[in-house]
């Protein structure tokens, strides 16, 4: 995280904390790097002077700080201290070393499917704790997610709605950031945990594509797209696209819960990390996305593809994905299948040739079922011959 020297107008101490550097500034105030007498580092935010004079803001700020104290779990920046009665209210949270998700994507490009899913699973688990405390984040976005060595951390929860964090409205209005704002927030409807699910879906799309699923433009254009247009997810990994699309459903009732997200994303992260995903052609990917537009498909993602026709018939039904040995990894290992004199394998074999073990040329190992059949036939024939010889000797 970039740090800047303190300016002349910046305080040197706030409460019992000594300030060292500026971490940033936003619509609410300035964030400083500070430390207490024991050397514990904190991120301390001091409220803007004009907000400090707004009694309505002070009361709302107090409620949000109280709610933040109730949040348990390791995926948020823990609240350390706060002074709601100071001339300029402030609060301090645990300092989280590491870049924001936004900065990491800007510097290094889109994340791999396994990394995106792993970050999403941790964030979903963190949101479970946030929602159980009665808090809705309302402004979850890549810049509010810090990637610490111990995992992602959510910051600025439950505050942005009362701070005018975006350019859309003024203080006291329920707002978020264009491109990550849920449709119900745009309409002025009540926010729920499903609101954070929408923002998480947009955040995961950003991590996977390096861009917002609703493109770019003015605040008004972005809000219109969020409410009336479908997100563009063509750059999202195939393993994640259906789940991200479900998070971005216009109707909050059609979005998955944070607990469902956590479980599914953990499965996807484990599968992708082992290279067990199955790449699909663009036509098949587009068909699945079209299916997701139906309400009944919002919550589900087909984790396993339909068994290829060539396995059911024993013959070739068309081109199949290349094996990891040819592609450098990432494809689902092909399962052996029954072969015969003409086994339909690409390149073919001579009639009557017994399949051998897999080699560096990509040939498949012999089918165990076929080997068992041949062994049984061998023993039966041998037994018959032996019985015939024994009978001849007796005569």
Q: Is 164 left (phi over 0), alpha (psi -120 to 50) or beta?
A: left
Q: Phi, psi (5° rounding) for residue 23?
A: -100, -25
Q: CB atoms < 10 A from the CB of 312, how many?
A: 11
How far is 357 from 269, CA to CA, in rounded Å?
32
* Contact present, 39 and 87 (Cβ < 8 Å): no
* Contact present, 214 and 222 (Cβ < 8 Å): yes
103: annotated active-site residue: no
Helix, strand, coil abundance in the chain, percent, nearest 5: 40, 10, 45
Which residues are known binding-site members for ATP?
45
Interhelix angle 193-209/258-273, nearest 10 degrees: 20
From first CA to last CA, the distance across the chain in angstroms is: 97
| Cα–chain center distance at 130 | 18
* Contact present, 32 and 19 (Cβ < 8 Å): yes
Q: Which of 54, 103, 139, 211 is catalytic?
A: 139
- C-alpha angle 225/283/199, rounded to 5°? 30
Active site residues per annotation: 139
């Amino acid at each position: 995280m970039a740090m800047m020297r303190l300016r002349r107008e910046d305080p040197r101490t706030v409460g019992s904390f000594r300030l060292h550097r500026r971490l940033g500034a936003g619509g609410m105030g300035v964030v400083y790097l500070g430390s207490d007498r024991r050397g514990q580092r904190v991120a301390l935010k001091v409220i803007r002077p004009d907000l400090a004079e707004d009694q309505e803001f002070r009361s709302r700020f107090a409620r949000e700080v109280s709610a933040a104290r109730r949040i348990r779990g390791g995926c948020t920046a823990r609240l350390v201290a706060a002074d709601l009665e100071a001339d300029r209210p402030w609060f301090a949270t645990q300092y989280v070393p590491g870049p924001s998700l936004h900065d990491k994507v800007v510097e290094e490009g889109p994340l791999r499917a396994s990394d995106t899913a792993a970050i999403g699973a941790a964030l979903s688990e963190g949101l479970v704790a946030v929602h159980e405390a009665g808090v809705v984040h309302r402004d979850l976005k890549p810049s509010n997610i810090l990637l610490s060595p111990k995992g992602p951390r959510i910051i600025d929860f439950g505050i942005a709605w009362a701070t005018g964090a975006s350019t859309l409205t003024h203080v006291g209005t329920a707002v978020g950031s264009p491109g990550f704002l849920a449709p119900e927030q745009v309409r002025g409807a009540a926010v729920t945990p499903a609101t954070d699910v929408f923002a998480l879906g947009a955040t995961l799309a950003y991590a996977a594509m390096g861009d917002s699923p609703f493109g770019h433009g003015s605040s008004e254009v972005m809000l219109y797209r969020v409410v009336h247009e479908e997100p563009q997810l063509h750059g999202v990994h195939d393993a994640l696209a259906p789940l991200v699309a479900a998070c971005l459903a216009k109707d909050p009732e059609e979005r998955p819960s944070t607990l469902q997200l956590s479980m599914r994303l953990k499965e996807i992260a484990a599968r992708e990390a082992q290279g067990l995903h199955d790449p699909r052609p663009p036509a098949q990917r587009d068909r699945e996305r079209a299916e997701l537009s139906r309400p009944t498909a919002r919550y589900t993602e087909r984790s396993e593809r339909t068994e290829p026709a060539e396995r059911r018939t024993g013959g070739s039904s068309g081109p199949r994905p290349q094996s990891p040995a040819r592609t450098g990894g990432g494809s689902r290992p092909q399962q052996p299948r029954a072969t015969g004199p003409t086994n339909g394998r690409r390149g073919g074999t001579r009639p009557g040739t017994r399949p051998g073990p897999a080699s560096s040329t990509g040939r498949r190992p012999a089918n165990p079922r076929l080997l068992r059949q041949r062994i049984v036939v061998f023993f039966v024939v041998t037994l018959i011959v032996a019985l015939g010889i024994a009978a001849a000797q007796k005569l």
